[in-house]
Chain A
Amino acid sequence: MDASELQPIVQFLQQSVPFESLDEATLATCCRSLTVGYYSKASSFVPLDPSHPQLYIVRSGAFEVRDISGELLDRLGEGDYFGFPSLLSGEEASNRVAILEDGLVYHLPPDIFNLLRTKSRQFDRFFNKAFAKRLRHQGRFKARELTTTSRITTLMSHSPLMIDMKSSVADAAKLMRKSRVSSLLVIDNKKLVGILTDKDLRNRVLAENLDGKLPVHQAMTTTPITIESNSLVFEAMLLMSEHNIHHLPVVDNGQTQGVITSTDILRGQSSQPLLLIGEIERQKDLPSLILVSKQIPLLLQNLISADARAEEIGRVLTSVTDALTRRLIVLNQQMLGEAPMAFCWLAFGSQGRQDQAACSDQDNGLLLAHEPDEAAQGYFEALSKAVCAGLNECGYVYCPGDIMAQNPKWRMSLNRWCAVFDKWVNTPDPKALMHCSIFFDMRSVFGPQSLFDGLQDEVLKNTKGNDIFLAGLTGNSLTSTPPLGFFRQFVLERDGTEVKGIDLKHKGNALINDIARVYALSAGIKEVNTAKRIRALMEQNIINRKDALNLADAHEFIAHMRLSNQGYQYTHAKPVTNYLMPKDLSSLVRHQLRDAFKVVHDGQVGLKLKMMRSY
């Protein structure tokens, strides 16, 4: 029988994007492969069988996609789809589909879904896009606790100490003392057979008055409770408290990967931002601050593995930098005494924008309430030199362009700062415009807000509606374009013959920062964080809502790619760079990255049209 007997279903599919792109024969095959189910709100959720992923096509009724925490991601009605994320990613569905209104749903099995994707590029693109959108939504609303989402791989020790089961407990104890560990994995013929801990030695050997020659396997805990390496930290914590144990061997498919201890988890907890900031504020001298700052890379790793939003990561890392800066100022003021006048410690560039990442250098300056006399100059020179040096030792290297408070050029009174900004705005030569991308993203980290407001208000008053300056700024920002070629292929950067990949920072996020900055300055918006700028611009209807959301999503997506790439580089002991090789990506992510860069390109075109009256 052919599918013509099922005409109503064929017709329905023909009217649904993207099925309409399929030819008749394919559509018939597809139609023949469907099963039909009816879901009632009596059962609240659509039962998604993880072993049986399929595409759900809503024929009638109303549904809602919510993530684990119950956040709404999408609302679906006739002709909408769900279930495609797990089909595309191969991962188990984590979202839930609530039933709002009873409805009929068609199910398309995965093999046919994949067949259709190969047959129609449009079909494939549609679901990839929908998936990307879903991911972004998921990100937009996501605010998870770190412990619940970070994975144990970042905390566990990857090269655990092992001992053969026939060795003596005395040897085991010596090994443990030598390596200062509290547990050993016991193996037999490369297979994990048990775990030997301090507690075992105490309870089963010493307390029983047994000899040190006792073979390990008689003292160990046999068939220990294990955990898989992709488990969440919080699952490990659950297991430990459930069984009252402190060591969990990490085993994947019978292969021992490592061990995670309660100490590891505790250590992981302390690199949580709030704890870290609290820690910073408790330190009394530079050496201890340096020690604490050693945890910052770990914090970044944790945040990345927790799949936190890139924007959040930037904000968290920056707040740590801010705290460190403030603490350094306070500590130094304790030595130097009260400041002779009010001042603000200004943060520029990425710290100003609150999107710091790994390997940030410092960009800062000092804003003084009025013109300093000799003594005041001496005071501020000493203060800024000490703080900049402290930051340098804490891992925030000196700015190669010397944009730092310790440079007397960037240590000025309010009036002089205003004059400098005035000059940049009125004479936008290339050097001034270069400075703009750093200095116009400024934030006060320390000092009275009113002083800082005085500067910012003056600056924004000058930039707002100053079309000539804005055109210059736009022209400058357009000298760099997203790495897409004429046929939307990726353009890789090269260094001689070596292919470096796509520069996600300078060809991606920096461009969006530029776009947001120009618009924000044109409208006199005070925000400096790119996401906040875009939101403010959207609210004031300076950027169209759709354009703004696209831009914000692209910013988040590219930043996320950059961070996860850096996380990968870090864990694989490769040099941490901004370069990404597109061939390392799945085709799905490549699509999404391309779309994100297209958004950047469109944003640049729009900016050029508005600010330079050109296209």
Chain B
Amino acid sequence: MKSIYLKSKLRWRTLKTSNRTIKHYYRSVLGNLSKPLLQIPLMAIDLEMTGLDPKFDQILSIGLVPIHNGMLQLGKAQHKLVSIDGSVGDSAVIHGIVDRQLATAISAKEAMVWFLSQTQGHVLVAHHAPLDMCFLKAEILRSLGEKMSFVAIDTMSLERSRLLRQHEVLKEGSLRLDACRRRYGLPVYAAHNATVDALACGELLLAQMVAIAGKDDLNLFDLLR
């Protein structure tokens, strides 16, 4: 059911949009969706933002680490800083990006074009994906004038449902990326930037896939919810 809904939604979007880049983007994703999970190219992503509200806050940086054949490809990992209006402000405390570094940044529009070209054909993977998707959609609407739709696996919701299924009480912070990773014995990364977090999220997904599937086969739609 989920697959039919998702696919038809994407097809509809493909039809509706007039932007050729985005049309192409949808087609490439659609073409991959029916493949076995291992063969679907995935892209672990992470965004650093000035805040949590997509309406006012802006994207500061984007980290991408592709997952091909169940392996994270560090060689193809990428990172872009995005220039913003105004100052980074207090949020620098969290993501460590200060204004000075933003000098090498690209504009938000360039960033979105770059993002679409890089993730073409990929299913996205993010921790707490809805938030990142909101920011991406808002920015694409702002700079490209297109209403966008993504296929994204949310490692956080995967984790939540897994924990709930085990009748675990969800404690404050137990769904944070590091907390989730610890549950799978994954190493804790001291440094935080968009790439490392994307990598961390990608690794978490690999661990979750194994935990969910056990010995059974898994398909993409088991992961999308």
Task: List residues of A whose CB falls within 8 A of some B CB.
Answer: 1, 5-9, 11-12, 31-40, 42-43, 59-61, 101-104, 107
Q: Are A35 and B71 in contact (CB under 8 A)?
A: yes
The verdict on B202 contacting chain A, using a C-beta distance below 8 Å, is yes
What is the bound-complex CA distance between A60 and B206, given in angstroms? 13
Q: Are B77 and A8 in contact (CB under 8 A)?
A: no
Write out the residue numbers on chain A whose beta carbons fall within 8 Å of the beta carbon of B195: 1, 5-6
Q: Are A8 and B191 in contact (CB under 8 A)?
A: yes
A101, chain B: closest CB distance, angstroms: 7
With A1-B78, A61-B185, A102-B185 as known contacts, state yes or no: A36 contacts B203, CB within 8 Å. yes
Q: Are A60 and B187 in contact (CB under 8 A)?
A: yes
Q: Taking chain A's interface residues, is the majority helix, strand, or loop, or is none over half, making it mixed? A: mixed
Instruction: Give the residue of B71, B77, B215 whose beta carbon is less than 8 angstroms from that of A43.
Output: B215
What is the bound-complex CA distance between A103 and B206, given in angstroms? 10
Task: List residues of B whose CB falls within 8 A of some A CB.
Answer: 63, 70-75, 77-79, 184-187, 189-191, 193-196, 199, 202-203, 206-207, 209-211, 213-215
Q: Are B79 and A5 in contact (CB under 8 A)?
A: yes
What is the bound-complex CA distance between A390 and B218, given in angstroms? 73
Instruction: Give the residue of B73, B190, B207, B215 whose beta carbon is less than 8 angstroms from that of A38.
Output: B207
21 interchain pairs (CB within 8 A)? A1-B77, A1-B78, A6-B74, A6-B195, A32-B77, A33-B74, A34-B74, A36-B71, A36-B206, A37-B72, A38-B70, A38-B206, A38-B210, A40-B211, A43-B215, A60-B185, A60-B187, A101-B185, A102-B207, A104-B203, A104-B206
Q: Are A34 and B75 in contact (CB under 8 A)?
A: yes
Q: Taking chain B's interface residues, is the majority helix, strand, or loop, or is none over half, making it mixed? A: mixed
What is the bound-complex CA distance between A42 and B190, given in angstroms? 29
B180, chain A: closest CB distance, angstroms: 14
Write out the residue numbers on chain A whose beta carbons fall within 8 Å of the beta carbon of B206: 36-38, 104
Q: Which residue of B lies closest to A34 (CB)?
A: B74
Q: Which residue of A lies closest to B211 (CB)?
A: A40
Q: Which residue of B lies closest to A8 (CB)?
A: B189
Write out the residue numbers on chain A whose beta carbons fall within 8 Å of the beta carbon of B196: 5-8
What is the bound-complex CA distance between A43 and B210, given in angstroms? 9
Write out the residue numbers on chain B whose beta carbons fall within 8 Å of the beta carbon of A38: 70, 203, 206-207, 209-210
Q: Are B211 and A36 in contact (CB under 8 A)?
A: no
Query: Can you add 15 more A-B contacts, CB < 8 Å, to A5-B194, A104-B203?
Result: A1-B195, A5-B196, A6-B77, A6-B195, A9-B74, A11-B191, A12-B187, A31-B74, A33-B74, A35-B71, A36-B71, A42-B210, A101-B185, A104-B187, A104-B207
With A1-B79, A12-B187, A60-B186 as known contacts, state yes or no: A37 contacts B74, CB within 8 Å. no
Write out the residue numbers on chain B whose beta carbons fall within 8 Å of the beta carbon of A5: 63, 77, 79, 193-196
Write out the residue numbers on chain B whose beta carbons fall within 8 Å of the beta carbon of A107: 71
A469, chain B: closest CB distance, angstroms: 59
Q: Which residue of B lies closest to A29 (CB)?
A: B75
B216, chain A: closest CB distance, angstroms: 9
What is the bound-complex CA distance between A70 and B25, given in angstroms? 49
B191, chain A: closest CB distance, angstroms: 4
Q: Which residue of A lies closest to B188 (CB)?
A: A8
A37, chain B: closest CB distance, angstroms: 5
Q: Which residue of A lies closest to B190 (CB)?
A: A8
What is the bound-complex CA distance between A60 and B72, given in angstroms? 15
What is the bound-complex CA distance between A215 and B190, given in angstroms? 80
Q: Are A35 and B184 in contact (CB under 8 A)?
A: no
With A42-B210, A102-B210 as known contacts, state yes or no: A36 contacts B184, CB within 8 Å. no
Q: Are A59 and B77 in contact (CB under 8 A)?
A: no
What is the bound-complex CA distance between A31 and B65, given in angstroms? 13
Write out the residue numbers on chain B whose beta carbons fall within 8 Å of the beta carbon of A101: 185
With A6-B196, A42-B214 as known contacts, state yes or no: A32 contacts B203, CB within 8 Å. no
Instruction: Give the residue of A1, A42, A102 whose beta carbon is less than 8 angstroms from that of B184.
Output: A102
